[in-house]
Amino acid sequence: MQLVVFGANGPTGRQVTEQAIAAGHTVTAVTRHPDTFPLSHPRLRVEAADVLDLAAVERAVAGQDAVISTLGVPYGRAPVTVYSTGLTHITQAMTEQGVHRLVCVTSTVLFGVEAPGEGFLFRKVIEPFIVRFVGHTVYEDMRRMEEVVRASGHAWTIIRPGGLFDTRTVSDYRVAASRLPGRFTSRADLAHVLLSEAVSGGHVHSCLDVRTTEGTPSILDVIRKEAFGRTA
């Protein structure tokens, strides 16, 4: 298949790209920084584009069989619009170019229910603090993005993972249409779900949780890694 990956230069996007190439697909990897993109392959085209630029997004989407988005921005105080504006442009470009399959990422917190199996501290203090304060602007824009995707008329699937951590290998992960127990999702597993859904057309018009069940880190491990450097 011909696949375009937005956010391809992020740690999940790189794994999506690698897994798609290994599976025999042809990939257009979209990044604002093509000079820093680490992969090359005869079936890989690296496209310089900002998702805030509709014309550039249309060029990337033209001729594709499916679109995968792993677009992301870090937590911060400034208003975030990349998710919602990005997916507005991507879905418009898909309509324009006659492309229908879309798989994209938000977060498990968008299920809007407390984390199953967790104790009082995590359910009532840690996660609400992250959602309402630390990541407020990101989650608000993810909500707007999901509305854009639902209203698009396309064959969409939204993947809502837990906290991300890095592994190189895909594990025997769990997927469900409701919030799963467990705090973490490996980027290899997330990439695998994104690719499987894009290729199979599996769960159209669904929001799926994905959770890694083995080799998961502690919260302190993840904070140390995400705050002080990645080696994806």
Ligand X SMILES: NC(=O)c1ccc[n+]([C@@H]2O[C@H](COP(=O)([O-])OP(=O)(O)OC[C@H]3O[C@@H](n4cnc5c(N)ncnc54)[C@H](OP(=O)(O)O)[C@@H]3O)[C@@H](O)[C@H]2O)c1
Positions touching ligand X (CB under 6 A) are 7, 9-13, 31-33, 50-52, 70-73, 82, 105, 107, 161, 163-164, 187
Q: How far apart are CA 147 and CA 28, in angstroms?
A: 26
Rounded to a whole number of angstroms, the minimum distance from the CB of residue 87 to ligand X is 11
**Cβ proximity to ligand X, 24 vs 128, nearer residue:** 128
For residue 53, CA distances in Å to 16, 49, 59, 91 come to 23, 7, 10, 13
Q: In what order do the strands lie in the sheet with 2-6?
A: 44-48, 26-31, 2-6, 66-69, 101-105, 155-161, 206-211, 174-176
Closest separation in Å from C-beta 32 to ligand X: 3
- Is the CB of 13 or the CB of 182 nearer to ligand X? 13
Comparing CB distances to ligand X, the nearer of 72 and 182 is: 72
Q: Smallest gap, in angstroms, from Cβ of residue 96 to ligand X?
A: 18
DSSP string, 29-97: EEES-GGG-----TTEEEEE--TT-HHHHHHHHTT-SEEEE-------SS---HHHHHHHHHHHHHHHH
* Choice between 13 and 217, CB closer to ligand X: 13
Closer residue to ligand X (CB): 24 or 112: 112
For residue 117, the minimal CB distance to ligand X (Å) is 18
Compute the least distance from the CB of residue 56 to ligand X, in Å.
9
Residue with nearest beta carbon to ligand X? 72
